[in-house]
């Protein structure tokens, strides 16, 4: 199962399914993502911040710095992804146009 990713204030957080999905609750990671998006729609920023803080503390959430490509591949950054997937053909090895 793929771990859902939630983006908040420019940071990406991976909801770790292997930790959240226990005791027969196989969709908990996806439900947490839905909960985050619901809080966004209501403007409940305090709840989002608190959940992120506690998720990081208790280990079911992890901040990630990599970029996920269209095919699910993890890349170091957007430039690496662009070179591999071919949509930044004008980018050279140093990342300049």
Domain containing 44: what range? 5-65
The Cα 11–Cα 2 span in angstroms is 19
- Averaged pLDDT score across all residues of the chain: 79
Tell me whether residue 23 is in a domain. yes
Tell me whether residue 75 is in a domain. no
Q: What is the pLDDT of residue 67?
A: 61
14 contacts 67 by C-beta, under 8 angstroms: no
Tell me whether residue 42 is in a domain. yes
Q: In what order do the strands lie in the sheet with 5-8?
A: 5-8, 11-15, 61-64
Structure tokens at 76: 């170091």
Tell me whether residue 53 is in a domain. yes
Q: Cβ neighbours of residue 13 under 8 Å, at least 6 residues apart?
A: 5, 6, 7, 52, 55, 56, 61, 62, 63, 64
Number of structural domains in the chain: 1
Tell me the pTM.
Answer: 0.67
Give me the mean pLDDT over the 18-38 stretch: 90
Tell me whether residue 97 is in a domain. no
Band (pLDDT 50/70/90 cuts) for residue 25 is: confident
Tell me whether residue 51 is in a domain. yes
The answer on pLDDT for 41 being more than 90 is yes
Tell me whether residue 87 is in a domain. no
The answer on pLDDT for 56 being more than 80 is yes
Dihedral over alpha carbons 14, 19, 25, 31 (to 10 degrees): -20
Task: Provide, rounded to the nearest whole percent, the portion of the chain with pLDDT above 70.
Answer: 66
Tell me whether residue 13 is in a domain. yes
């Amino acid at each position: 199962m793929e771990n859902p990713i939630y983006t908040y204030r420019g940071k990406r957080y991976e909801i770790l399914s292997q930790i959240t999905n226990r005791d027969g609750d196989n969709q908990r990671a996806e439900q947490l993502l839905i909960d985050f998006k619901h809080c966004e729609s209501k403007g409940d920023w305090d709840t989002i911040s608190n959940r992120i803080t506690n998720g990081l503390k208790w280990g079911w959430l992890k901040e990630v710095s990599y970029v996920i490509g269209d095919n699910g591949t993890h890349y170091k950054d957007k430039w690496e992804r662009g070179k591999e997937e071919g949509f930044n053909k004008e980018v050279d090895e140093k990342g300049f146009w």
